[in-house]
Structure 1
Amino acid sequence: MANYIVTGTAGFIGSRVSEVLIENGHSVIGIDNMNDVYDVRIKEFRLNPLLSMDGFTFYKKDIADWKEMKAIAEAHPKIDAIINLAARAGVRGAGERPFATVESNTMGALSMLELCRHYDIPKIIQASTSSIYGKNPPYPTPESANSDYPLQAYAASKKGAEALCHSYHHLYGVDVSILRFFTVYGRAHRPDLAMFRFVQWITEGRTLHLNGDGEQSRGFTYLDDIVRGIQLALKPLGFEIINLGGHEVITINGLIALTEELIGKKALIEYHPAHPADMQQNWADVSKAREMLGWEPRVGLREGMQVLVDWYNQERDWAKDIETGSL
């Protein structure tokens, strides 16, 4: 079976990817610096089950630290692929931490590409974002849409990582699959994103803070659909950029109404001005994923949201106190 480096292994996507790979008989070298971009308790919740699994090795390190990354590669001489999911995520927070965002998202990607180059690692999957498409892309948005005008530092840092990936494929023959994720959600969700916030705020009777009028829309993508796409993209593809996105687009007002229904309580909504870093809409064209990977989203929004609500209720004793960040 294969040996994989998974960065951001305590993250929302990385922890589930690691779990599934190990369940399928692979070994995972997990790397995460456990930063405090959001409440570390939820990262610890995701990481702790992995630590008890055979086939999992964990390093609490920063992927932008080249010396430390070299040491990990030298300790594990046979790596089949890198799945680079580590990032300073968040379109709004990136404006408050631009240097840290570029360090993690762009320089971190460079470290992973250098590992591929110097340690004969043939494949890298680089996580990217739908935010890269900017303000007015066509809908549904194909990979060929212009991505030269990102609206915030987060998307710009991911664009930089994508450019580095292309250069390393061209110069050194690294097989690169760039996966542009569209608004991922699921159990143990990031607490600074809308879905976790809405579930917590409505369940606990707290004020639901809403930026804009709620008519902005998203094509939400369930976590396990993303994980399946990542697995499928591990095969040799050369250099490809592929969207992974959900098939159901809903307004934020519609999402609030669905969350109210699933929880059985009404939201106490307080409106705030729209944030300039936010896109008005995202909606993925996944034709390429269907053709190249045999992938399409399977989990509907209601089903996926029910999983998140059930998880929250199961973990409510501590999840109710998770910090959800500033607006």
Structure 2
Amino acid sequence: MSKNILNTNNNLLVTGTAGFIGYYLSKKLLDQGYTVIGMDNLNDYYDVYLKQTRLDQLQLYDSFTFIKGDISDKMIVNELFAEYKPDIVVNMAAQAGVRYSIDNPDVYIQSNLIGFYNILEACRHYPVEHLIYASSSSVYGANKKVPFEEKDFVDNPVSLYASTKKSNELMAHTYSHLYNIPATGLRFFTVYGPMGRPDMAYFGFTDKYFAGEPIKIFNDGDFENDLYRDFTYIDDIAIGLERLLRNPPEAADGAPHRIFNIGNNRPEKLMSFIGALERALSNALGRGVEFNKIYEPIKPGDVPATYASTDLLYQAVGFKPETSIEDGLQKFADWYVDYYQVK
């Protein structure tokens, strides 16, 4: 990898800045004195008020500029690049969610394919020092070999969401090769934490508990062969991202393009994770919490296990996520109880 390119004179563009990961990265960079241009369409895929709350926190910084817009609007993207000429671009804007993609495919094509194409084209015409973009652990599909390594076969995605993320990696590699755009793709593994996405299981389970409703667990009640997930705490993600910003890839195999897993490297059984969440909420509330559980078959598009090898990431930037689920879920539970004022 090349030398550090990041300094406080850089213009950094973060798309999806009102989203979960985009917000945490933007705040970390702003805290360190960088200038951040944020872009988000503030869509209603989940609670817009939560997105606005994140955005309000970022707008407290004088060095933050917000542009409301959609990356699928090529004119807005081009105008933004022409005016601000970002040195480093972090594309976190995307339509997320595996199950949502089954019933709502159009938005995935619009945002994840057309939108990402617009970002690549803008990076081509307004050259940048580094493009970082969000991929996903879902590209590994139903791979049975664990831990997942970046060199593994990823040509059998089991959801449209995964297909769009695999497509992003291919598109980025091509643009990297043709136009010498230093680009880094990150395969995120089940990111969680305070101010997280309400569509994620841990957040939804907590919502259900306070609504007095049962939670649905899609493992068919098979505790011996329970689902495994590599849960990764948001602060770890932000640290890894910030370090990678400083290190664009050198040309290798004809393109300055690299892919990294960014996960916890310690997969947990889903039921263990749920137990840890119950304990965290018990601590936050000062009383015992136990979810009412309903077990159902695994849903189409879901995979039985995610488990990241993080060796490449460690070799590149000397970083490996380390937050335990107990610590991470306690921070989430404390935030949730305070933010929603529940008892």
TM-score in same-fold range (> 0.5): yes
Could you tell me how far apart the structure 1 residues matched to 2:45 and 2:185 are? 24
- The Cα offsets for residues 14-72 of structure 1, whole Å up to 9 and x where unpaired, read as 01111111111111111101111112121111111112211111111000111111111
Check the 8 A contact 1:139/1:283 in 2, yes or no.
Answer: yes
Describe the SS at the equivalent of 2:163: helix
Which amino acid in the other structure matches residue 252 of structure 1?
A: L
Which amino acid in the other structure matches residue 177 of structure 2?
A: H
Describe the SS at the equivalent of 2:25: helix
Describe the SS at the equivalent of 1:257: helix
Which amino acid in the other structure matches residue 173 of structure 1?
A: N
Counterparts of residues 160-239 of structure 1 (less than 5 Å)? 160-213=167-220, 215-234=226-245, 235-237=247-249, 238-239=256-257
Structure 1 unmatched runs, 5+ = 321-327
Task: Name the residue aligned to 1:145.
Answer: 152
Post-superposition shift, 1:203? 4.3
Choose from 30, 47, 60 the match for 1:52.
60
TM-score (norm 2): 0.90
Choose from 57, 66, 74 the match for 2:74.
66
In the comparison of the two structures, how many residue pairs are matched? 318
Which amino acid in the other structure matches residue 45 of structure 1?
A: T
Which amino acid in the other structure matches residue 115 of structure 1?
A: A
Percent of pairs with identical residues: 38
Which amino acid in the other structure matches residue 43 of structure 1?
A: K
Structure 2 unmatched runs, 5+ = 1-7, 250-255, 283-288
Which amino acid in the other structure matches residue 82 of structure 2?
A: E
- Segment drifting more, 226-235 vs 280-289: 226-235
Describe the SS at the equivalent of 2:118: helix
Q: Does residue 28 of structure 2 align to residue 4 of structure 1?
A: no
Post-superposition shift, 1:247? 2.9
Task: Name the residue aligned to 2:332.
Answer: 308
Which amino acid in the other structure matches residue 183 of structure 2?
A: V
Could you tell me how far apart the structure 2 residues matched to 1:111 and 1:230 are? 22
Q: CA RMSD in A?
A: 1.4
TM-score (norm 1): 0.94
Describe the SS at the equivalent of 1:197: helix
Counterparts of residues 236-255 of structure 1 (less than 5 Å)? 236-237=248-249, 238-255=256-273
Describe the SS at the equivalent of 1:95: helix
Counterparts of residues 77-92 of structure 1 (less than 5 Å)? 77=85, 79-92=86-99
Post-superposition shift, 1:271? 2.1
Post-superposition shift, 1:93? 0.3
Could you tell me how far apart the structure 2 residues matched to 1:133 and 1:35 are? 28
Choose from 87, 103, 113 the match for 1:96.
103
- The Cα offsets for residues 94-153 of structure 1, whole Å up to 9 and x where unpaired, read as 111212102111221111111111012121001100000011241011001111111011
- Segment drifting more, 12-21 vs 268-277: 268-277
Describe the SS at the equivalent of 2:123: helix
Which amino acid in the other structure matches residue 161 of structure 1?
A: N
- The Cα offsets for residues 181-218 of structure 1, whole Å up to 9 and x where unpaired, read as 00000111100111111223234532112222361110
Q: Does residue 281 of structure 2 align to residue 263 of structure 1?
A: yes
Post-superposition shift, 1:4? 0.6
